[in-house]
Amino acid sequence: MNASKTCAVLGANGFIGSAVTRAFLGSGYRVIACDRSYDFSALERHPNLETRTLDFLDAVAVREALHGSDLVVHLVSTTKPAGSNENMAFDVETNIVPTLRLLEACEKEGIERVLFASSGGTVYGVPQRLPVKEDDPTRPIVSYGLTKLSIERYAWLFERETGLCFISLRIGNPYGPRHADMRQGVIPVFMRLARQGLPLRVIGDGSTVRDYVHVEDVARAFLLAAAYPGRERVFNIGSGKGRSVMDIIARIEAIHGSALRVEHLPARPFDIPAIVLDTNRAREHLGWRAEIPFEEGMRLTWEAM
Amino acid sequence: MNASKTCAVLGANGFIGSAVTRAFLGSGYRVIACDRSYDFSALERHPNLETRTLDFLDAVAVREALHGSDLVVHLVSTTKPAGSNENMAFDVETNIVPTLRLLEACEKEGIERVLFASSGGTVYGVPQRLPVKEDDPTRPIVSYGLTKLSIERYAWLFERETGLCFISLRIGNPYGPRHADMRQGVIPVFMRLARQGLPLRVIGDGSTVRDYVHVEDVARAFLLAAAYPGRERVFNIGSGKGRSVMDIIARIEAIHGSALRVEHLPARPFDIPAIVLDTNRAREHLGWRAEIPFEEGMRLTWEAM
């Protein structure tokens, strides 16, 4: 238990944020849950939970929220992969710059470490081999991924200068029960359409492969990274298995008990054909691996809807 | 001759900028020389030269200045390698963001291509081999270099989206006659101290190796890149030869005709021990190589002071 440690979670109302908040509370941390939303109903009440509404772009408010914390989990992003190429200056201005201001605030407030939600699906671009390892070439084809990668690299410089430990988790495609609220992610969207008897709209031919990882496994990775004493700074967090969109549909059909109608939309130029993450580093150094089997995770997500 | 083409030079009063402006004028271009300074006395009058004072951070003024140009040479930086790690957020905010706004303006104004002054001395970090090639690992240890590299990579995405050609010249350590005014660069600083009879202040033991390239050779590389029809986007621009600080001092002693006093200052953590650029790509694709021999370039610089 870590009753004496306080963790500030930035983006606590999000899909990963609410799971991380629960995981840290469950492990004995005190948590300052920060979000720009006033509605913290995604989080259950807990004696060690404090909530704060703030704008990540407000450096003063961010610093105030960090006061007294030991570590920070940074889950904020102002962009999504799909639209990020349309306004790269905005992406840089509202993600890299405030993250660097956050690091400055962390240094001033004596924070020990920052855990950052990076993107396993976009920092590598089109991988030269699968599964992709952390030290493989990184050539993002979306601004979202280049911004995540740039943050990792500026943070590495910042750690050299100041000693502030900054650990990046390059997360695959997270899925899980509460995602259903969010209207993003192929799994909850398809499950909702299946329940409504509507056709599933597949971008491209359905062959694109992703590495789906349950959000509770992701939250546990943050918990392990919080206590990790070693020198690695970047970890892939995925299942290590690739599944196509058609695999997802077949799994939903198995749960739903009947065939689903599918409509195909044109492929998008920024979608990479396949990504699967090599997670050996996380296993060796964090003692982490994805524990929730895909079939069970899908069933739990379906039942929670 | 390119009498029909107009080139906007951003940072035209700087050391490289004034040489680039002269080179483009000499090649028949019309040049819009832009700088935040009002004093364009570094540039000789020329019938094809127009000057504009503007702030690179003012996106409206930048776009107005580009109107009617065919290409842009972007030489602006708000930071220097030495101090850049002290305020990385400022570095990102005042270099990456306005460069992306510049690219948006270029797209709207129908600019064909942008030539960017990147940094051969800092984008690679500590090279694993010498001379270093363009595709070698890039692991900058100063924010200045990471910012140059990030600009290259966002621009690559921007070109994928819009077709705007963006070529980066990773320049070594430029030197030459007019640098003497600038109070930066080991060569003019040492030459001035030698003339004044003052001791030369060497950071570290004087063994650090750099790739010195004459500024007129650099300007010619921009001219060749302006007309380059191929697909390469990043070029090392250096002499391909490494020279230590003690080599520089020996050369100045040979010109000056007497031994110089040297004082040693503590080494700095952000100085890499040695960098030499492999310039084969520029030779093969641009038809460029450094033509001014170091001994002659040093003599000309001395005589111009």
Phi, psi for A259 (deg, rounded to 5): -70, 145
Closest Cα in chain B, distance from residue A151 (Å) = 10
Q: Please state which architecture CATH assigns to domain B175-208+242-273.
A: Alpha-Beta Complex (3.90)
Residue B303 neighbours by CB under 8 Å, 6+ apart: none
> What percentage of chain B carries pLDDT values higher than 90?
92
**Is the Cβ–Cβ distance between B58 and B105 less than 8 Å?**
no
B101 touches chain A (CB under 8 A): yes
B78 touches chain A (CB under 8 A): no
The topology (CATH level 3) of A6-174+212-239+276-291 is Rossmann fold (3.40.50)
Residue A53, class by beta-carbon neighbours within 10 Å (0-12 exposed, 13-18 middle, 19+ buried)?
A: middle
Note the pLDDT of residue A180.
54
**Is the Cβ–Cβ distance between A64 and A10 less than 8 Å?**
no
Is B154 within 8 Å of A92 when comparing Cβ atoms?
yes
| CA B255 – CA B258 distance, rounded (Å) | 8
Suggest the residue from B150, B162, B234 to mutate for an interface test with chain A (most A CBs closer than 10 A). Answer: B150
Note the pLDDT of residue A15.
93
**What integer is the mean pLDDT of A267-290?**
95
Is B97 within 8 Å of A89 when comparing Cβ atoms?
yes
What is the side-by-side order of every strand in the sheet holding B165-171?
A: B49-53, B30-35, B6-10, B71-74, B113-119, B165-171, B234-237
In B116-167, where does DSSP find H-type helix?
A: 143-162
Identify the CATH homologous superfamily for domain B6-172+214-238+276-291: NAD(P)-binding Rossmann-like Domain (3.40.50.720)
Tens of pLDDT, residue by residue over B172-222, are 999 998 765 656 789 999 999 999 999 999 999 999 999 999 999 999 999
| CA A236 – CA B227 distance, rounded (Å) | 43
The verdict on ipTM greater than 0.85 is: yes
Suggest the residue from B90, B97, B101, B158 to mutate for an interface test with chain A (most A CBs closer than 10 A). Answer: B97
Nearest to B67 by CA among B95, B34, B93: B34
Is B153 within 8 Å of A160 when comparing Cβ atoms?
no
User: According to CATH, where is 3.90.25.10 located in chain B?
Assistant: 175-208+242-273
User: According to CATH, where is 3.40.50.720 located in chain B?
Assistant: 6-172+214-238+276-291
Is A100 within 8 Å of B92 when comparing Cβ atoms?
yes
Closest Cα in chain A, distance from residue B141 (Å) = 6
Is B88 within 8 Å of A154 when comparing Cβ atoms?
yes
Cis peptide upstream of residue A137 (ω within 30 degrees of 0): no
Nearest to B256 by CA among B248, B264, B267: B248
Residue B250 neighbours by CB under 8 Å, 6+ apart: none
B126 touches chain A (CB under 8 A): no
A295 touches chain B (CB under 8 A): no
Q: How far apart are the first and last CA of chain A?
A: 32
| pLDDT exceeds cutoff 70 at B170 | yes
Closest Cα in chain A, distance from residue B297 (Å) = 36
Residue A1 neighbours by CB under 8 Å, 6+ apart: A27, A28
Tens of pLDDT, residue by residue over B219-259, are 999 999 999 999 999 999 999 999 999 999 999 999 999 99
Tens of pLDDT, residue by residue over A107-164, are 999 999 999 999 999 999 999 999 999 999 999 999 999 999 999 999 999 999 999 9
Helices (H) and strands (E) in chain B, counts: 10, 13
